[in-house]
């Protein structure tokens, strides 16, 4: 037994805590210090601040937690809404309090706060990335010539994360979605032209129902495309719906199209159920990401974990290791 071995085992113990490593990866949420700090209602479990339970991200998270007894013993997933989650995040951020949220990119919160994804070292979320996708009811493209023109625009609509960010931020800073969409269209005439081409409406009486979900990125893309279509002469019935209703309504034909799908990963639960009865038209944004996100102050080793359950646990171990009075065996006993 050498001092080096003892110091080696000490530094391993040190690496196991958020105090010495910072909170940077999902596996560290199981650390009892973190569980306690995230226990908002005092029931002994940490809280993950979520969004609407119809979202793909919540479906994935809930399936992971409920299917894993270690996690379900330590965590509750709190359902809310996109705005409920960002309100909770804003409050925690103002007082530098611990919080873990379900978030995604693109989202304006990354422009407003210093946030970071926890590294997914437990396989909580699917890997491989996602697209925001335009979906239509089957047969929209063969309904009539007017619908074919609309469908042609849908099959070209595509923008970037930066484009989406600019509209989301404008809305977050107080612009109405319609005003933010108009400002984007005015400043991106040539892009809009690549979407519309020569496909203007030929029948203003034929109404199309456009469904969207109230997440900030899909509010932004839907308002932009809705305005582009309206200005091209199409008669659009614009409807905010829950994610599950968007899919079931596309499948039964009562909804004509949406730009609120996240596929193939995030909303795989819906896609596996409905893919044979829905038309995947076109990816409208690439590089979409979901995950667990924390304010970056939680990643610092200087962060004070105020609800620490084992304060001072590391210090006595360190002293013992230095003087060489403890063997790895007894060290292990203490850990257990
Ligand atoms: N989201 C935002 C959605 C898609 C857009 C990631 C919260 C979800 O289904 O999870």
Taking only the tens place, the pLDDT of each residue in 264-315 is 999 999 999 999 999 999 999 999 999 999 999 999 999 988 753 333 333 3
For ligand 1, the distance from its centroid to the CA atom of residue 320, given in whole angstroms, is 50
Q: Is the pLDDT of residue 13 over 50?
A: no
Residues 202-217 have a mean pLDDT of 97
Average pLDDT on 138-145 reads 97
Count of C-beta atoms within a 10 Å radius of residue 240: 14
Please tell me the distance from the alpha carbon of residue 206 to that of residue 203, in angstroms, as a whole number. Answer: 6
SS3 282: strand
78 bridge partner residues: 49
Q: Is 327 exposed, middle or buried (0-12, 13-18, 19+ CB in 10 A)?
A: middle
H-state helical runs in 134-215: 145-154, 161-172, 177-187, 189-196
In which band, very low, low, confident or very high, does the pLDDT at 16 lie, cut at 50, 70 and 90?
Answer: low
Specify the DSSP element, H or E, that contains 270. helix 268-274
**Model pLDDT, residue 335:** 46
Tens of pLDDT, residue by residue over 49-74, are 999 999 999 999 999 999 999 999 99
**CA 230 to each of CA 85, 141, 149, 223, 302: distance values in angstroms, whole numbers, following the listed order:** 32, 18, 13, 10, 53
Mean pLDDT of 62-91: 97
Q: What is the pTM of this model?
A: 0.85
Say how far apart CA 278 and CA 16 lie, in whole Å.
Answer: 47
Residue 262 beta carbon below 6 angstroms from any ligand 1 atom: yes
Q: Answer for the pair 141, 319: CB distance below 8 angstroms, yes or no.
A: no
β-strands 207-212, 235-240 pairing: parallel
**Counting Cβ atoms within 10 Å, is residue 203 exposed (0-12), middle (13-18) or buried (19+)?**
middle
Residue 108 CB–ligand 1 contact under 6 Å = no
Question: 40: closest CA among 307, 311, 303, 294?
Answer: 307
What distance in Å separates the CA atoms of residue 264 and residue 136, rounded to the nearest whole number?
Answer: 16
Within 8 A by CB and 6+ apart from 232, the residues are 153, 196, 199, 200, 201
Angle at 108 between CA 107 and CA 109, to 5 degrees: 90
Q: Which among 58, 52, 76, 228 is positioned nearest to 157, based on CA atoms?
A: 228
Q: pLDDT band at residue 174, thresholds of 50, 70 and 90?
A: very high
Q: How far is the CA of 84 from the centre of ligand 1 (A)?
A: 14
Q: Is 278 in the pocket of ligand 1 (CB under 6 A)?
A: no
The pLDDT, as a whole number, for residue 307 is 59
Q: Is 215 in the pocket of ligand 1 (CB under 6 A)?
A: yes
Ligand 1 centre to CA of 31 (Å) is 28
**156 has pLDDT over 80:** yes
Mutate to test the pocket of ligand 1, among 60, 262, 265, 271 (most ligand atoms within 8 A of CB): 262
Is residue 124 very low, low, confident or very high in pLDDT (cuts 50, 70, 90)? very high
> Tell me, what's the pLDDT at 128?
83
Q: ω into residue 234 within 30 of 0, thus cis? A: no
2 has pLDDT over 80: no
- Phi, psi angle pair for 62, to nearest 5°: -65, -40
Best residue among 56, 58, 103 to mutate for probing ligand 1's pocket (most ligand atoms within 8 Å of CB) is 56
- Determine the pLDDT at residue 306: 75
Residue 17 Cβ < 6 Å to ligand 1: no
φ and ψ of 233, to 5 deg: 95, 0
């Amino acid at each position: 037994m050498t001092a080096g071995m003892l110091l080696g085992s000490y530094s391993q113990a040190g690496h196991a805590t958020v105090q010495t490593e910072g909170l940077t990866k999902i596996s560290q949420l199981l650390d009892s210090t973190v569980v306690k700090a995230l226990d908002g209602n005092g029931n002994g479990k940490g809280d993950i601040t979520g969004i609407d339970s119809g979202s793909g991200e919540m479906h994935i998270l809930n399936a992971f937690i409920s299917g894993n007894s270690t996690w379900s013993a330590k965590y509750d997933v709190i359902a809310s809404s996109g705005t409920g989650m960002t309100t909770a995040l804003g409050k925690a951020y103002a007082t530098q309090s611990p919080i873990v949220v379900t978030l995604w990119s693109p989202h304006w919160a990354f422009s407003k706060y210093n946030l970071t994804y926890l590294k997914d070292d437990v396989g909580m979320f699917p890997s491989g990335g996602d697209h925001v996708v335009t979906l239509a009811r089957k047969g929209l493209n063969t309904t009539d010539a007017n619908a074919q023109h609309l469908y042609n625009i849908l099959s070209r609509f595509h923008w970037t994360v930066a484009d989406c960010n600019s509209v989301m931020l404008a809305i977050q800073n107080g612009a109405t979605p319609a005003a933010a969409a108009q400002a984007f269209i005015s400043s991106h005439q040539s892009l809009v032209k690549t979407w519309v081409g020569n496909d203007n409406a030929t029948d203003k009486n034929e109404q199309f129902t456009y469904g969207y979900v109230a997440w900030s990125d899909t509010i932004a893309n839907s308002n932009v495309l809705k305005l582009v279509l309206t200005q091209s002469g199409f008669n659009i019935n614009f409807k905010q719906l829950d994610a599950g209703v968007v899919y079931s309504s596309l499948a039964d034909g009562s909804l004509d199209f949406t730009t609120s799908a996240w596929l193939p990963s995030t909303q795989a639960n819906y896609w596996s159920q409905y893919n044979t009865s829905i038309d995947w038209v076109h990816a409208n944004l690439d590089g979409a990401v979901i995950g667990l996100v924390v304010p970056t102050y939680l990643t610092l080793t200087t962060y004070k974990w105020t609800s620490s359950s084992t304060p001072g646990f590391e210090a006595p171990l360190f002293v013992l290791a230095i003087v060489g009075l403890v063997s790895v065996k007894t060290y292990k006993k203490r850990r257990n």
